[in-house]
Amino acid sequence: NAGVTQTPKFQVLKTGQSMTLQCAQDMNHEYMSWYRQDPGMGLRLIHYSVGAGITDQGEVPNGYNVSRSTTEDFPLRLLSAAPSQTSVYFCASRNRGGDTGELFFGEGSRLTVL
Amino acid sequence: DQQVKQNSPSLSVQEGRISILNCDYTNSMFDYFLWYKKYPAEGPTFLISISSIKDKNEDGRFTVFLNKSAKHLSLHIVPSQPGDSAVYFCAASEEGTYKYIFGTGTRLKVLA
């Protein structure tokens, strides 16, 4: 009963390094998204996707790239990490229909950029 | 420009009493509203939602009220329990966009 799986759970990077946060869901959800959580800022939407091959920007997209080649996976890429990207990142997914509009979240990935 | 606002960063309530968490929004195109609960080091978990065609939705101890004219929603927890201590986020989305905007959260502490 995996749901939304994020890897890695913890990562430390140096300024300028690149990395990819992985997100996979096994619920056949069409919609997937990435959020970052910072103190006093809540959850802010970075990028989202409504299906394979379709992505769009959220509230804070700068410095991040995404792609959606399969329904299951939605990786988030940092091409040149900056200290301002130190945060906890959450991936979320939902299906297209449903009664509640519920988003299912992963457990988060804590990233520190030195 | 914050489209979804939770103006109370924290709230303390005695066990057994009612907890009321508030949320305001500015975008009149939002048509679905959700509440999430988050414990430290875990992902947010869904609590309850409400469509803009309703003004109230109940699920056990949790009730969400929506006032569209005031662009305001609230979450009532009755009775409050120590296990309810967490950060609560409200979220909103526009129909068909699948784009969810979250508030900044309210930290609820239920005192035993």
What pairs with residue B5 in β-bridges? Answer: B24
Question: For B98, which of A4, A50, A107 is closest by C-beta distance?
Answer: A50
Confidence at B99, pLDDT banded by 50, 70, 90: confident
Q: Is A94 in contact with A101 (CB distance < 8 Å)?
A: yes
Q: What is the pLDDT of residues B43-75, one digit of tens each?
A: 999 999 999 999 999 999 999 999 999 999 999
Which residues of chain B lie closer than 8 angstroms to A44, CB-CB?
102
A 37-76 residues with CB below 8 A of B? 40-45, 48, 50, 56, 58-59
Q: Is A84 helix (H, G, I), strand (E, B) or coil?
A: helix
Q: What is the pLDDT of residues A50-59, one digit of tens each?
A: 999 999 999 9
Chain A contact for B21, CB < 8 A? no
What pairs with residue A48 in β-bridges? Answer: A33, A56
Question: In the predicted model, what is the mean pLDDT of residues B96-110?
Answer: 91
Q: Is A45 in contact with A38 (CB distance < 8 Å)?
A: no
How many degrees, rounded to 5, is the angle at CA A62 between CA A37 and CA A112? 45
Segments in chain A below pLDDT 70 = 1, 98
Residue A1: per-residue pLDDT:
67
Percentage above 70 pLDDT, chain B: 100
